[in-house]
Structures are given as C-alpha cells and as structure tokens.
Chain A
C-alpha cells in the first residue's frame, strides 16, 4: 500500500488540496491518504508527499492534472515535472532550524499517537519530574522572549505569576494573530495543536494554574475547530483535565472565539474580551501577571512562545539557547508574505540578515520587479528600504534602525507600491481599530489620515508634513498601548526613507 500525504492546512486547502486528496484516493486503488499539516512552503502547496520505504518524496505545487502521474510502477515518479525530491533534503527545509515547527507538516495534526512518536509530550513528562521552580528556571535560562512581538522574557513573566499570591491563577494564550503578514500561530494551531496544549500545560504546572484559555481569532475558523478537537482528544488521553499523567496536576483548557477586533491582540484588551466585555485596554500597572483575568494572576503568552516550551523542556535550555544572536536566543519564525516569489514560513536562528531571507529564501518579488520596501512586524512595523536589508533579524538590531521584528511577519512590496497610500493606511487602520480609551490614538489616527490626505493633495505640504511629524510623536509618547504608540512607525519610516511618497520630495526633518 502506498502512503500519501496531502496537507489539510487552511492555506493549502485554499489552493485546492481537498480536491487533490479526493483525486489521489480515486486514482490509486491501493493507497492511504494522511491529511498532514503544512510545512509552510506555501509556494509549493498543495505539496503532496509519497512515502516509500519510510522515505517521503515531495511533489508540488500539484494541480488536478498532475495527480495521475504521481506514481510510476507503484513508486514515486521521479521524472514527474513537479517532483521536488526527498522531502527532508529539500533545501528550503534543510536550511531551517525547526525547533518549534519540527512536527508541522509531518503528521496528522489531531493524532496523539503521531505527536507522541515525534517526541510530543516528552517535555511535559520531563517537567512533571521537576519542581515548578526548576521549570521556570529552565525557561529563564533558555532566553525565550515573547514571540507575540513585545519580546518580554517569558521566564520572568512566569516567575511573577508563580510568586503572586492567590489560589486561582490562569494561563491565557494570545492567539489573536491580527498582524498582516503573519500566520505562524495559525499554522501551529492547524498543524501541530498539541505542542500549544503541551506548552500551556507546562506553564500551568510551573506557575500553579489549573485553568487556561486560548483566545483565537474568529477569522481562523479551521484553527478553532482543530483546537477544539485537540483539546477533547488530550482530555480523553490524560494529557489535560484532572490528574494529568497520573500526577497531582489538574489543568482545564477552553478555546474561545473572538469577534474581530485587532486591539484584542493587546493583552489587557484580550483579558477584557475574555471576561465578556468591550476590548478596551487596561491601565498598567497592575500587570496581568498580578491582576489579570477576573482579577487573578495570569500568564498571557503568544502561541509561538507557548509552543516553544515543550522543545525547551525536552531538549534542555542550553540546546535552545545555543541558537540565536546577542540577547535574541533560539529561533525566529520568519513569515514571508505579500509580493514575494517564495512566500512561506522559515524557522531560523536569530541573526540571519533580512537580505538573505528576502532574496536567498524568498527569491525576490513574485512580480519579478525590484523590491521597493518591506514592512516588518505587522501593521505597526516600519517600512524598511534596501539600504537596511543587511540588518540581522534580532530584536535589538531592528530596534537600532527604528524597526521592530514583532511577530516575525515580513511583507514585501515591489516598486509599483504607492507608499503615500500605505502611510495613509497605517493611520486609517489605527483609527478603525482604536479601542478609544486614550485620546492620542483615538483622535490622532483620524487627524493623521486627514493630514496625509492634505499632503497627498499638495495642500501646504511643508507645513502639513510638520504637523504630521508632531502628531506622530504625540501618538508615540502619549498613547496607552502599542496600537497608538506604534502606528506612527510606518508613517515616520516612509517620511524618512521615501520622502517623495509624502509630498514633493521636499520633506524637512526637524
């Protein structure tokens, strides 16, 4: 019998993988099809794999016409036009360090057995043999920093919650991945959900929590469905619920669907939303680690942060820490998006240059035109010009050029982009998504759109450029959270690097 793998990830499905899976079953009588997750090589999706003698061979991107010739004499047809080679030798995978995403695309995401066979739950088992403080120390030692974008040391956050008074504590996973150009959280939830569940369970044991929530975007229906099934399976197999793996630890996990508000990716707005309220941000302090969900000490971590915990606990803090550069340890999940030839997820040690990612991995633009700008770190991230492409992907190095890595999304634009309009969009998006609590963000974003419109119309350009710059600094200095505080970054970066975009090329800096 021939074993086929056809991805079930929502992006692969959007490219037609369901139809391909059906056709494979119909075409080959003696075959079985596993719907695996995606490896994130999206330009090759739907990527079909054929396994023979325990070696997987990849083909892609597969269309309906390609299916019947996938096999020759019952073996992978290496002469097929779409034949890519032995999967594990593909240079796009070979050049990565898959720590957090080791299983994505390897297995049926919902099979506990398959997860176990690739080291799944080993981290949890090892954690159960340690004291909570030893777990926290390992996470601190690993150098793991919040992968949602803020890069706060995860171990220190856990320590604060562990040290906080109170019998009731919560673990909350921030799966409100709203940044354009990012899909790593979605991939974990759809392709390896147990790694997130395992990471949350370890967090719960470490800080003494017995209940957790995964707050997921409503825009990700498949991720929600996959998580709900995975939670059920984990409960049935003893990895969640009462007396986890026959220990004294209990952990109940709930999956909650959001309702479409970007601001709920901000941790305090997320907590309000989980409490059933408008997603208005809270003043800090108190930190959520002290007074979080329903006023109780709460760990709020991003999906990737939590999904990285099992590998740290399994292979050791030292192993994880050995990857990376400077104070950015471990791996960054780079997500290439927009106008790029090879768009997909690449898990790389920190320190790789942007240029390597854009050209060697990404292959330049999809349109074949020159890259004009890349926006790194989502809608609040700076637009970066060619002259800064040699910057290493590292939290501090990016901060030094006025940018931020954020959640690792990189959106590529070719030279047809109208950056004046992109600057306007940054303000427009902020106005649309502002929770309204603080004035600089609520009013500033609206004024920002108006002022950019005046500049683009040629109305008192120099004076309005000055107004816009002042406004940006007011928002940066005066906003309560990162939405208003960072929405000016794309605008200022465009004013600085592309003076022609906002005005007549006569931009004067203060």
Chain B
C-alpha cells in the first residue's frame, strides 16, 4: 500500500495552480509543469491531474497518459531519497546485476518499492552517463562511481544521516 499523502489538498492545488499559471503562455508546457510539480511535491498527486488538464486544455486521460508514459514520474508519494542503480550494459559489465541484488537485499525492498521507514525508493535506471566509472549509482542528484556492495552500504548510511 502506498504511504498516505504528505500534502494537504489545499497545498496540492495551490502549488499546481501557481506552476500552471507560470507556464500558461508556453507552448507544449505539459512536461515542464509535470516536472515542476514533481520537483516541488515529490510526486504528481492524482488531485493535481484535473487542475493541470483544465489549464492545459487537455482531457484528464491525456494528462494521465503522459504521466504513465515516462519512467521518472511518480503518481504516489515515495520515500525521502531515491536510489537509482544503473543497470545498463556498461554497468552490467562491472557487476551492476549483483549490485542491484545487494541493494535490494540491503534495503529490504524490490525495484520500484519504498523502504518501510520511508527513507529510500529503489529504482533501476538505464544509464547515468558515468559508464567509464561503472557501476554507477545516483542518490537524488548525487552521482557515485565504482560502487561496490561495501561502498553501497556506506553511501546509504551517509544518506540516512542527512
């Protein structure tokens, strides 16, 4: 079950309204708006969809279709931090499959799940552009190189403290 929404309906609508207003005159602004809502709230709440649809002159289905198409959009709240493990070929050549398994075991969750303490989402990702220093891991916006299972535990401990 997804954790309950950390934002009140009022917050969601005021944040969404102001983001939509900011981009009212931009052509094809839907991705800009969705990116901004997710950056602000951590996910795209279901109740934001009709607001966005109305402002962008789209149907709710169209907005939902865009949200569900892109891998990085979340439609439910997740944990405080997102752990992206690169699982593309260059990282696989350096042990990313084992690292993913280790990460899953260490955090106690499967891919796309959130830890029970709500601290970490675990996400496989296909290429972080750090292919010469594989395997790569990104926690939120911070990139890590040559991550061994031991390193992984260390960077998770550091992220836990912040």
**A336 smallest CB distance to B (angstroms):** 6
A residues in contact with B69, CB < 8 Å: 261, 278-279, 435
- 108-162 of chain B: CB within 8 A of chain A: 125-134, 136, 138, 141, 143-146
A residues in contact with B134, CB < 8 Å: 337-338, 343
**B145 smallest CB distance to A (angstroms):** 4
**CB pair B131 A181 closer than 8 Å:** yes
A residues in contact with B91, CB < 8 Å: 180, 338
**A387 smallest CB distance to B (angstroms):** 20
Q: Is A59 an interface residue (CB 8 A)?
A: no
The listed residue (B94, B143, B145) touching A339 by CB distance below 8 A is: B94
**CB pair B127 A275 closer than 8 Å:** no
A residues in contact with B143, CB < 8 Å: 10-11, 13-14, 222
**B26 smallest CB distance to A (angstroms):** 9
Q: Is A347 an interface residue (CB 8 A)?
A: no
**CB pair A379 B89 closer than 8 Å:** yes
Given A178-B126, A276-B56, A339-B94, do A375 and B89 touch, yes or no (CB 8 Å)?
yes
Q: Residues of B with Cβ closer than 8 Å to A? A: 27-32, 34-35, 56, 65-66, 69-73, 84, 88-94, 125-134, 136, 138, 141, 143-146
In angstroms, Cα B93 to Cα A339, docked, is 6
**CB pair B90 A338 closer than 8 Å:** yes
The listed residue (A219, A222, A335) touching B125 by CB distance below 8 A is: A219
Q: Is A114 an interface residue (CB 8 A)?
A: no
Interface centre among B72, B73, B127, B133 (most CB of A within 10 A): B127
B residues in contact with A155, CB < 8 Å: none
In angstroms, Cα B132 to Cα A262, docked, is 20
**A179 smallest CB distance to B (angstroms):** 7
In angstroms, Cα B69 to Cα A134, docked, is 42
In angstroms, Cα B133 to Cα A215, docked, is 25
Given A259-B34, A274-B28, do A219 and B128 touch, yes or no (CB 8 Å)?
yes
Q: Is A92 an interface residue (CB 8 A)?
A: no
18 contacts between A and B (CB under 8 A): A10-B130, A14-B143, A180-B91, A219-B128, A220-B129, A257-B32, A257-B35, A276-B29, A276-B30, A276-B31, A279-B69, A337-B93, A337-B132, A338-B91, A411-B89, A425-B92, A429-B126, A435-B69
Q: Is A422 an interface residue (CB 8 A)?
A: yes
**CB pair A178 B133 closer than 8 Å:** no
B residues in contact with A256, CB < 8 Å: 31-32
Q: A11-B132, A14-B143 are in contact. List 15 more A-B contacts (CB 8 A).
A: A13-B143, A14-B133, A15-B133, A180-B127, A181-B89, A218-B72, A219-B84, A220-B129, A259-B70, A273-B31, A337-B134, A338-B93, A413-B93, A414-B93, A422-B89
**CB pair A411 B125 closer than 8 Å:** no
**CB pair B70 A275 closer than 8 Å:** no
A residues in contact with B66, CB < 8 Å: 276-278
**A442 smallest CB distance to B (angstroms):** 13
**CB pair B35 A218 closer than 8 Å:** yes
**B35 smallest CB distance to A (angstroms):** 5
Q: Residues of A with Cβ closer than 8 Å to B? A: 10-11, 13-15, 42-43, 45, 177-183, 186, 217-222, 256-262, 273-279, 294, 335-340, 343-345, 366, 375, 379, 409, 411-414, 417, 422, 425, 429, 432-433, 435
Given A14-B144, A338-B93, A411-B89, do A258 and B31 touch, yes or no (CB 8 Å)?
yes
A residues in contact with B29, CB < 8 Å: 276
A residues in contact with B145, CB < 8 Å: 11, 14-15
In angstroms, Cα B69 to Cα A435, docked, is 8
In angstroms, Cα B70 to Cα A425, docked, is 20
Nearest A residue to B35 via CB reads A257
**A472 smallest CB distance to B (angstroms):** 18
**CB pair B132 A180 closer than 8 Å:** no
**CB pair A180 B71 closer than 8 Å:** no
A residues in contact with B125, CB < 8 Å: 219, 260
Given A219-B125, A259-B71, do A275 and B28 touch, yes or no (CB 8 Å)?
yes
**CB pair A259 B35 closer than 8 Å:** yes
**CB pair A180 B31 closer than 8 Å:** no
Nearest A residue to B66 via CB reads A278
Smallest CB-CB A-B distances: 8 pairs? A343-B132, A276-B30, A180-B88, A338-B93, A337-B131, A260-B72, A259-B70, A276-B28
**CB pair A219 B127 closer than 8 Å:** yes
**A365 smallest CB distance to B (angstroms):** 9
**CB pair A279 B129 closer than 8 Å:** no
**CB pair A14 B130 closer than 8 Å:** yes
Given A11-B143, A259-B73, do A180 and B126 touch, yes or no (CB 8 Å)?
yes
A residues in contact with B28, CB < 8 Å: 274-277, 294
B residues in contact with A275, CB < 8 Å: 27-28
**CB pair A422 B92 closer than 8 Å:** yes
The listed residue (A217, A221, A338, A425) touching B141 by CB distance below 8 A is: A221
**CB pair B70 A261 closer than 8 Å:** yes
**CB pair B138 A219 closer than 8 Å:** yes
Given A10-B143, A259-B72, do A411 and B131 touch, yes or no (CB 8 Å)?
yes
In angstroms, Cα B28 to Cα A340, docked, is 42
In angstroms, Cα B125 to Cα A411, docked, is 17
A residues in contact with B30, CB < 8 Å: 276-277
In angstroms, Cα B143 to Cα A45, docked, is 14
A residues in contact with B65, CB < 8 Å: 278
B residues in contact with A338, CB < 8 Å: 89-94, 131, 134
In angstroms, Cα B84 to Cα A11, docked, is 15
In angstroms, Cα B132 to Cα A42, docked, is 6
